[in-house]
Amino acid sequence: MQGNDVMKIIKASLGKELCIDLVKHPVHIKMENNAILMEGVVERIAHKKRALLITMSIPGISGVIDRLRVRPAKEMGDKEIKNHIHDAFAEEPTLNNIPIEVEVNNGVVDIEGTVSSLSHKRLAGVLAWWVPGSTDVINSLEVVPPEEDSDDEITDAVMLALEKDKLVNHSSIKVTTQNYVVTLTGIAHSEPEKNAAEDDAWYIWGVNEVVNRLKVVR
């Protein structure tokens, strides 16, 4: 398959499956040695993650270079983003004594250091994503000693994120995970709450897909 054909397929899939208006929100796609480089700004992390999954599923693609960014809820400078993340870590009892290095470059956050569990790694990543100016989060935290991951670990992490998110009523949402695919069922009281719950699940490091079956009951 020729490079131009591949890019047409990707763009058509993004428009159809994600309902992304590529005129209003252009995603730039180009071939680099059988890999696809994707660059642009999307509205939600769900769009970013699913765009990568769609692209990886196309035959002949050996990899994806991810330079997609999520549109920030608020325009913030790198220093301001960094300060907000440090404050969030300091206010979280399970993280406030852990030295986590934070670097921010044009809204892209990189967190590095050593933590004692996968739950610490995942919570730190969520808190970094929640800062309004963050456009992407690279979670480079190392778990020492290494910990075996599982679907139950993912479920616990998503539930914790939902409990901490003030935009979500976690008590009406059920979380299940199978093969790192998270399914949300239950009730949301608005479309923004439904979207926020899905985004929280996508923010969790290690999640491969999110199936949002929440019903909106106003």
> What percentage of the chain reaches a pLDDT higher than 90?
74
Contacts of 74 (CB under 8 A, 6+ apart): 132, 133
- Rounded to the nearest integer, the mean pLDDT of the chain is 92
Residue 126 has pLDDT above 70, yes or no: yes
The H or E element containing residue 213 is: strand 209-216
Position 33 scores a pLDDT of: 77
What integer pLDDT is reported at residue 83 of this predicted model?
Answer: 97
Average pLDDT over residues 52-70: 88
Domains of the chain in start order, with CATH, are 3-70 (3.30.1340.30), 78-143 (3.30.1340), 151-216 (3.30.1340.30)
**β-strand partners of 213:** 185
Query: Confidence band (pLDDT; 50, 70, 90) for 218?
Result: confident
Q: Could you say which DSSP state residue 135 is in?
A: S
Average pLDDT of 12-30? 74
Give the mean model confidence (pLDDT) for residues 55-67: 86
Predicted confidence at residue 151, as pLDDT, reads 98
> Is the pLDDT at 153 greater than 80, yes or no?
yes
Laid out side by side, the sheet with 209-216 consists of 173-178, 181-188, 209-216
For 42-69, b/e burial (b = at least 16 CB within 10 A) is: bebbbbbbbbbebbeeeeebeebebebb
Cβ burial of 173 (10 Å; 0-12, 13-18, 19+) is: buried
Residue 112 is inside which H or E element, if any? strand 108-115
Of 1-10, 57-66, 78-87, 195-204, where does mean pLDDT reach its minimum? Answer: 1-10
Overall average pLDDT of the 149-175 stretch: 97
pLDDT (tens digit per residue) in 89-118: 999 999 988 999 999 999 999 999 999 999
